[in-house]
Each structure stands twice: as structure tokens, then as C-alpha cells.
Amino acid sequence: DTGVSQDPRHKITKRGQNVTFRCDPISEHNRLYWYRQTLGQGPEFLTYFQNEAQLEKSRLLSDRFSAERPKGSFSTLEIQRTEQGDSAMYLCASTTALAGPNEQFFGPGTRLTVL
């Protein structure tokens, strides 16, 4: 078990560009979550998947954001036409019904900087 991995760890982009992040959950974890964290704040929920189904999206997730989990394993989060306000740490977490109640296991995050 290698834990949750995220790629890239850091991304610097210019305003208006599209970016895509990848998350590989712990194998056999059927639930996958995306969170966003800005400096000095706790993470905020963006969206989550059970297997390949996207079950909930936060109001924080504007139309420029899209997430997929096509085969129920890895997930991607795409941001189109990035804005400076999108600069944040994007965290992925995974869990399974076999884990302890409400336990989620986080990846190291992708730090996005929009210039």
C-alpha cells in the first residue's frame, strides 16, 4: 500500500491556461474526494466519487472545474481558463467502507500558482 499519490506536486501557470491534476487513490478504495485549501484555512470540499460515479459537487466547483474518475481508480481534476483566485493547494483523499468511520487518507496535494 503506497498511499494516495498526486501529480504534479507543483504547477505554475498563466491566467487563462487550462491545467489538469491527477490523483491515484489507495488501491481498492472506492471513494475519492477532492478538496481545495488556501493559505491559513482548512481544506474545503469540492467533489467526491464512489467508484466512477460523481455523487456530489460543491458550489465552490464552478463551471470551469471538471472532475472525472473514468474507471473507478485514478481521478483527474481539470480547471479551464484559470484565474488568480484558483491559486491553492488541491488535495485528494480516498477511503473505503472497511476503513474506520469517516476516515479519509490524503495525498500530498498539488500546489497551483496562477500568475
Partner 1 sequence: TQLLEQSPQFLSIQEGENLTVYCNSSSVFSSLQWYRQEPGEGPVLLVTVVTGGEVKKLKRLTFQFGDARKDSSLHITAAQPGDTGLYLCPGTSYGKLTFGQGTILTVHP
List residues binding partner 1 (CB under 8 A): 4, 6, 31, 33, 35, 40-45, 48, 56, 91, 93, 100-109, 111
Is residue 86 a contact partner of residue 77, using CB atoms and an 8 Å limit? Answer: no
Give the amino acid at 60.
L
State which residue, 80 or 99, has the beta carbon closest to partner 1: 99
Which one-letter amino acid corresponds to residue 33?
Y
Instruction: For the CB of residue 36, give the shortest distance to partner 1 in the complex, in Å.
Output: 11
CB of residue 88 to partner 1, shortest distance in Å: 13
Provide CB contacts within 8 A for 27, sequence distance 6+: 1, 73
Residue 16 Cβ vs partner 1, minimum distance, rounded to whole Å: 26
Q: Tell me, what DSSP letter sits at residue 9?
A: S
